[in-house]
Amino acid sequence: MDKQSIHRLSTRQPDFETRLDTLLDWESVSSAEIQQSVDRIIADVRSRGDAAVIDLTRQFDRLDVQDMSALTLTAERLEQAWQGLPEAQRQALAVAGDRIRAYHERQKPEPWSYQEADGTMLGQKVTPLDRAGVYVPGGKAAYPSSVLMNVIPAHVAGVEDIVMVVPTPDGVLNELVLAAAHVAGVARVFTIGGAQAVAALAYGTETIPKVDKIVGPGNIFVATAKRAVFGQVGIDMIAGPSEILVVSDGGTDPDWLAMDLFSQAEHDEDAQAILISWDAEHLEAVAESIERLLPTLERAEIVRESLSRRGALILVEDEAQALSLINRIAPEHLELSVEEPQRLVEHVRHAGAIFMGRYTAEALGDYCAGPNHVLPTSGTARFSSPLGVYDFQKRSSLIQCSPQGASTLGQTASVLARGESLTAHARSAENRIGSHKD
């Protein structure tokens, strides 16, 4: 362990690869105990419905209620939370909501189709999910911005029924979260959480409607439950700790960069903040800024812990090495704090969101720039996308063969089907060969 607050790496170190691997290593493992506990909870909710949800909420959230109405918040209650906010917060939520909506409107795909010479039509239809469930964590990770980011894409996608669940341990409600639900257009909120909330959304109870997809972050019980119900309903990615990779060309104020790293590290002790530069003096300056500014932070203890566990300043030879590290790490957040970010971005293959230029702090994107802040973590940007409108829609293929088209295609299908020994397939296709009857 380094003596400083943050690891110091250089690609010149002989053990650089090993050190980097150790730093990046993360695997979310549900213990067999958690797995069994979650399986039991899901089975209980499936068999006893509301009664199980009420019992489990009493057990885990210490809420002693008699029926589900006591665990339900109406649209009126959400609006009341909104009305109760100070003007500045109302204004900020509204601005953020509008900008997030405007960006996501651009993600809406168009259906398409084309006709071939023989009259055959092929195409793709796009439809929204009927109902989406949004999980919002309670406690210290209850973020109104997450409500906006999870709900608005569903709304833009055209999902008619958006159901939100949020645990309220000991009955404590977060008014900002409820106000955000109002802004985002949530119709119904159930104050339940944990694996029991996931199970209720996946299978439905007498009161809680079965949804088609569950999105939103949660603790290890929630993540394990989401993995278990995957297939029964759709789920979003299972998120690991949040991370940022900043690349600086040396021209950005070291105090700005230190604060950008802190803004990631303050999430929790597992969060990861890494800065890469080919300017050694600049890295020293940032290290100095970190030491000087860290004690001034409200969440200094969390930041110190997360930087010492998983944070790093990495010296590279040049821009090319920086790019190669970016693509290897596939960061959730990539901040290109350089003079010409446009030139670098062309070579970035894997990143959840790319913040370009010295003025584009990740924090702006976290709240209100417009793009989603639900992003692929732990290198999953290699194969996953930000949460988006596309997560709340699905496509259907369209095929309409003309008699002539069916006749032609039937011959090819027949050969291939017989090659697979699927002769009913072949005969079904052959029925349409040269047979133009109505």
* Binding site as annotated, residues for NAD(+): 135, 196, 219
Edge to edge, what strands does the sheet with 213-215 contain? 72-73, 188-190, 161-165, 131-135, 213-215, 234-235
Considering only 73, 149, 197, 369, the residue that binds a copy of itself (CB under 8 A) is 369
**353 is a site residue for a copy of itself (CB under 8 A):** yes
Q: Looking at 73-81, 163-171, 184-192, 264-272, which segment touches a copy of itself (CB under 8 A)?
A: 264-272
Cβ proximity of 402 and 436 under 8 Å: no
3-state helix, strand, coil in the chain (%, to 5): 50, 15, 35
**409 is a site residue for a copy of itself (CB under 8 A):** yes
Residues facing residue 132 across a β-bridge: 162, 213
40's tokens: 């039991």
Q: How far is the CB of 426 from a copy of itself (least distance, A)?
A: 7
Site string for a copy of itself, 372-401 (x = CB under 8 A): x--xx---xxxxxxx-x-x---xxxxxxxx
**Which has the closest alpha carbon to 427: 419, 437, 438, 417?**
417
Choosing from 7, 104, 333, 350, the catalytic residue is: 333
Q: How far is the CB of 65 from a copy of itself (least distance, A)?
A: 28
Cβ proximity of 124 and 112 under 8 Å: yes
Any catalytic annotation for residue 182?
no
| Lookup result for tokens 């949004």 | 134
Of 241 and 365, the one with the shorter C-beta distance to a copy of itself is: 365
Residues numbered 47 to 86 that lie near a copy of itself (CB under 8 A) are: none
Of 63 and 148, the one with the shorter C-beta distance to a copy of itself is: 148
| Lookup result for tokens 């050694």 | 280
- Angle at Cα 348 formed by Cα 346 and Cα 349, nearest 5°? 115
Residues numbered 222 to 241 that lie near a copy of itself (CB under 8 A) are: 227, 230-234, 237-238
Any catalytic annotation for residue 350?
no
Q: Which residues are annotated as a binding site for substrate?
A: 242, 264, 267, 333, 366, 420, 425
Q: How far is CA 193 from CA 57, 124, 209, 213, in A?
A: 8, 37, 15, 16
**272 is a site residue for a copy of itself (CB under 8 A):** no
**101 is a site residue for a copy of itself (CB under 8 A):** no
Choosing from 305, 332, 335, 430, the catalytic residue is: 332
Distance, CA of 106 to CA of 156 (rounded, Å):
10
**324 is a site residue for a copy of itself (CB under 8 A):** no
Residues numbered 136 to 195 that lie near a copy of itself (CB under 8 A) are: 143-145, 176
Of 152 and 303, the one with the shorter C-beta distance to a copy of itself is: 303
Active site residues: 332-333
